Amino acid sequence: MARRSLFRAYSWNVNGLRSVVKKGFFDWLKTARADVVGLQETRVHPEQLPREVRRPPRWYTHFVAAERKGYSGVALYSRRPPASVETSLGDPAMDAEGRLQIARFGGLTVANVYFPNGSGRNRDHSRVPFKLAFYRRLFDRLETDRARGVPILVMGDFNTAHREIDLARPKQNQKTSGFLPEEREELDRWLRSGWTDTFRHLHPKARAYTWWSQRFNVRERDIGWRIDLILASPGAMPFLRAARIHKEVLGSDHCPISVDMDPAILEAS
């Protein structure tokens, strides 16, 4: 990794990696000054990707695909190779959906996560129990390291807007998955336990969104939801320098988000 003043990590739900590549993903990557990029909803198996996407020059990559084709999936692009990457929560149903990478870069742990949506195929709330179980299982998986001070970033599409400030129309969405009381309470539990929402910590009053419906030109009118987050453990917070939402970056129904960290985080123990 080239020396620079900050360590920058991005998270982006790309809504199909092959699709976003056609829309300029690598042009964006060339200018993003990223050290780590976590992608969600890649919807592809690595063998379906051309070599230049699977392993571009000067990048290390790692892919996790769902068993079901064209569904879910996560990917990591990094300037330095991770020391290790774990992809299992120990639950076959969860692991089959390809939603997790826990990578270690020196002293820093980065969890790239595509949290489940609570809506079922009939746009009901049938997947909410699975979604909350996934949250809790990941929480438990990270808790020992969090409690002993390991610097951890949990980044991804959380599929939950935490507070009314985090979506444009909270009153109309009280009964919509992604803003249900039980979903918001689970995020509250993470924050009460010591995790910090990096963007909200640095921008407490900002109304900024990361996802917009593809219907009715709502992105142009900025009627969105902030459901893409980067949470920092207590061990990571002293290194936080900036948190941003990159609304100007197109190619998906989500936009990228990022944090800048003091590079000393890589040597933290």
For the chain, domains (ranges, CATH) are: 7-267 (3.60.10.10)
Q: What is the pLDDT of residue 120?
A: 86
Q: What is the pLDDT of residue 5?
A: 84
Annotated catalytic, 157? yes
**End-to-end CA separation in angstroms for the chain:** 20
Burial-class residue 155 by CB neighbours within 10 Å (0-12, 13-18, 19+).
buried
For 159: left if phi > 0, alpha if psi spans -120 to 50, otherwise beta; the answer is: left
**Radius of gyration (Cα) for the chain, nearest Å?**
17
Q: What is the pLDDT of residue 216?
A: 87
Structure tokens at 171: 């009153």
Pick the catalytic residue: 35, 157, 166, 197?
A: 157
Residues 102-145 have pLDDT tens digits of 999 999 999 999 999 999 888 799 999 999 999 999 999 999 99
Residues facing residue 80 across a β-bridge:
none
Structure tokens at 266: 């890589």
Q: What is the pLDDT of residue 4?
A: 58
| Element holding 78 (H helix, E strand) | strand 74-78
Structure tokens at 101: 């990478």
The 8-class DSSP code of residue 136 comes to: H
Note if the pTM is more than 0.95. yes
Q: Which of 36, 199, 47 is nearest to 103 (CA)?
A: 36
- How far is the C-alpha of 91 from the C-alpha of 154, rounded, in Å? 19
Q: Which residues of 49-69 are buried (b: 16+ CB within 10 A; e: fewer)?
A: beeebeeeeeebbbbbbbeee
Pairing of strands 108-114, 152-157: parallel
Q: From the first residue on, what is the mean pLDDT of each consecutive set of 10 residues in the chain (269 residues)?
A: 76 98 98 98 97 97 97 98 98 98 98 96 91 98 98 98 98 97 98 98 98 94 98 98 98 98 93
